[in-house]
Chains A and B, each alone.
Chain A
Amino acid sequence: AQRVTQPEKLLSVFKGAPVELKCNYSYSGSPELFWYVQYSRQRLQLLLRHISRESIKGFTADLNKGETSFHLKKPFAQEEDSAMYYCALSGGTYKYIFGTGTRLKVLA
């Protein structure tokens, strides 16, 4: 079964501390993995996707097929990073499977 698991509902870190939002997936083929973010009162929007191998707003994510993980990392958290983060999987069936999301709170 296709599944995305985000084990933390809430993650609180202090400004300047490193951040790691966990994402594990279950998929039998070769999935496409994404991170979407929803800032307060804004639309859900794409943060990054694994095929791009890019860093957006200081965030990076590496696909680890052995551990079936796609954790989102940032070395130094900023207050404006506070938002809801969703990990998503697309497996060639024209749909995204989303995790339940992790709320990141960056404390001053």
Chain B
Amino acid sequence: KAGVTQTPRYLIKTRGQQVTLSCSPISGHRSVSWYQQTPGQGLQFLFEYFSETQRNKGNFPGRFSGRQFSNSRSEMNVSTLELGDSALYLCASTQSGGISTEAFFGQGTRLTVV
């Protein structure tokens, strides 16, 4: 069974630009969550999607948005990039999104904003 796949693995963008990251969950998994990982803050929750609906959102500005498609693939978009958005963005999928469900993580997309 293929794991969670995130593309691209690395990105370099300029301040003010926008970026779209992609996540393909494990086959059969319907819940996809996104996290921002930085050395000082650890992993911070961005949002979670289940069956194309956003069920929960973290404390990030509106520049961060996401969506989920009918095949459960998810995209995350960040507009008007700031230097502080430089981070590793992780995607995780779970089968049903239940609270006791193990989350399977992708390898992440490393975004560098210059």
B interface SS class:
strand
Instruction: Give the shortest distance, in Å, between B59 (CB) and chain A (any CB).
Output: 11
Does residue B9 face the partner (Cβ distance < 8 Å to A)?
no
Flag if A94 contacts B42 (CB, 8 Å).
Answer: no
Flag if B100 contacts A49 (CB, 8 Å).
Answer: yes
Flag if B90 contacts A94 (CB, 8 Å).
Answer: no
Does residue B103 face the partner (Cβ distance < 8 Å to A)?
yes
Flag if A44 contacts B90 (CB, 8 Å).
Answer: yes
Number of interface residues of A (CB under 8 A): 20
Q: How far is the CA of A30 from the CA of B81 in the complex (A)?
A: 38
Query: Which residues 30-89 of A sit at the B interface, judged by CB distance below 8 A?
Result: 32, 43-46, 49, 51, 86
Number of interface residues of B (CB under 8 A): 27
Query: Which residues 1-46 of B sit at the A interface, judged by CB distance below 8 A?
Result: 3-4, 31, 33, 35, 40-45
B residues with a Cβ closer than 8 A to A are 3-4, 31, 33, 35, 40-45, 48, 50, 55-56, 58, 90, 92, 97, 99-100, 102-107
Instruction: Show 19 residue pairs from A and B whose CB-CB distance is below 8 angstroms, ordered by the A residue.
Output: A32-B100, A43-B3, A43-B105, A43-B106, A44-B92, A46-B102, A86-B42, A86-B43, A92-B99, A94-B31, A94-B33, A94-B50, A95-B48, A96-B35, A97-B45, A98-B42, A98-B43, A99-B42, A100-B41
Given contacts A43-B4, A94-B50, 9 further A-B contacts (CB under 8 A): A32-B100, A45-B105, A92-B99, A94-B48, A96-B43, A98-B42, A99-B42, A101-B42, A101-B43
List 9 tightest A-B contacts by C-beta distance, closest first.
A100-B42, A98-B43, A44-B105, A90-B99, A95-B45, A46-B102, A94-B55, A94-B56, A94-B48
